[in-house]
Every structure is written in structure tokens, then in C-alpha cells.
Amino acid sequence: MKSLLWCLIIAAPLWAQRDFLTANEVDQIREAQEPNERLKLYAKFAKERVELVQSLVNKEKPGRSLMIHDTLEAYSKVLDAIDDVTDDALLRKLEVKLGLDVVAATEKQMLPVLEKIQNSRPKDLARYDFALQQAIETTQDSLAASQEDLERRSQSLEAREEKQKKEMQQTSGPGNGDKSDDDKKPDSTQPPKRKAPTLKRPGEQ
């Protein structure tokens, strides 16, 4: 574990500039094509980052605040990736319960650790306080999503996808590209026809 932590410490400043995963982690994700396996991997990566933050907080080390900040940001992005993988799998009607059970169990362990760090008020907290607060809120949101009824979540995702498709059709459908001369004539008495009626405020003509 110590060797892993030091590898993460070395890589931490680079995450903000490149990506939130190490090259080895990217390879592992690519090899794990099944959603449940990917979710388990992401949960593992998230836990390792929290352990790294905890280790850094417990040690007085020059420059640690930057490493803590970058690691917290990477952690939040890992959780975002978990939610993206889950949503994509649900839209494709794939099973993700086993992976989400692991994610939820891991997030339940990580949340109190992050809250304890915040409550302990480290002397350099101001330098990564926002990133820490974001990490806590992201964990809370992701945990709630992981524990949500999958059927309800799937229905919500499908409704959102359908709404987005309709909005795309209204804004980029036929007639909005090469317009005829009549379409190009300005009409000061009417709002643009391509605007969806649902976007009008109450009482607007």
C-alpha cells in the first residue's frame, strides 16, 4: 500500500493537467468491458485516493496542500465516472446491481473519512477546502444515486434522453439549416418559430 500511495503522490500534480486516472488505471478500465467490473475498479480507485488524502493530512510535508487538492479533484472525477458508467449501462439495459453494491459500500466508508478531515480543520485547509467540500457533496450525491431504485433511475434517464432528443430535433431539425427566402424574411410580430413553446414564460405571446 505504501508503494501505491507514493506512486499516487508522484502522479497527483499531473492529474489536473492531464487526466484523473493513471496510465495503469486507464489500462485496467479498458480491459474491463463489463459495467459491473468497471464500477468495482472505479470504487477501488476512489478509495485509494481517499486513503492518499488521509495519509497526506496526517503528515506535515512541504507542498502537501497541492497534492491533497489535486487528489480530491481526481477523486470527484472518479465518482463522476461511476455515475456515467451506471447511466450508460442502464440506458443499454445492462445489469449493474453487483457493481453498485460495491460502490455504495465503498462510498459509505469514504464519506465519514472526508467529513472527519474537514471537521479536524487542518492548518492548510483553506488551500483545498473547496475541493474537499466538492468531494463530500459528490460522494453524498453518488451514494444516493447508487442506492436509488434502478427501475426508477432507468425511467428517469429514458425520460431525460427523450426530452433531449426532442430539443435537438426542434433546434437542429429540417428548415433550420438552409432556409428558403420566405423563411429568411424577418417577422417583428412573431417570435422565432424554431423556439419550443415550452420555453416561453407564462403570458408571453
Query: Using one digit for the tens of pLDDT, what is the confidence trace for 76-95?
Result: 999 999 999 999 999 999 99
d(CA 123, CA 142): 29
Q: Which domain holds residue 147?
A: 2-157
Q: Tell me: the pLDDT tens digits for 138-168?
A: 999 999 999 988 889 888 888 988 888 888 8
Q: Under a CB-based contact definition with an 8 Å cutoff, are residues 193 and 179 in contact?
A: no
Residue 146's contacts (CB-CB under 8 Å, 6 or more residues apart) are 82, 86, 100, 103, 104, 107
Domains identified in the chain, total number: 1
Q: Under a CB-based contact definition with an 8 Å cutoff, are residues 20 and 73 in contact?
A: yes
201 pLDDT exceeds 70?
no
Q: What proportions of the chain, in percent to the nearest 5, are helix, strand and coil?
A: 75, 0, 25
176 pLDDT exceeds 60?
no
Query: What is the value of pTM for the model shown?
Result: 0.71
- Whether residue 169 lies inside any domain: the answer is no
Residue 18: pLDDT band (50, 70, 90) is very low
- Whether residue 12 lies inside any domain: the answer is yes
Q: Tell me, what's the pLDDT at 9?
A: 43
- Whether residue 166 lies inside any domain: the answer is no
Q: Tell me, what's the pLDDT at 21?
A: 93
Enumerate the H helices of 16-128 as residue ranges: 23-31, 35-57, 64-91, 97-120
Residue type, 155: Q
**For residues 58-76, average pLDDT:** 93
- Whether residue 35 lies inside any domain: the answer is yes
- Whether residue 46 lies inside any domain: the answer is yes
- Whether residue 54 lies inside any domain: the answer is yes
Q: Tell me, what's the pLDDT at 96?
A: 94
Residue type, 192: P
Residue 175: pLDDT band (50, 70, 90) is low
- Whether residue 56 lies inside any domain: the answer is yes
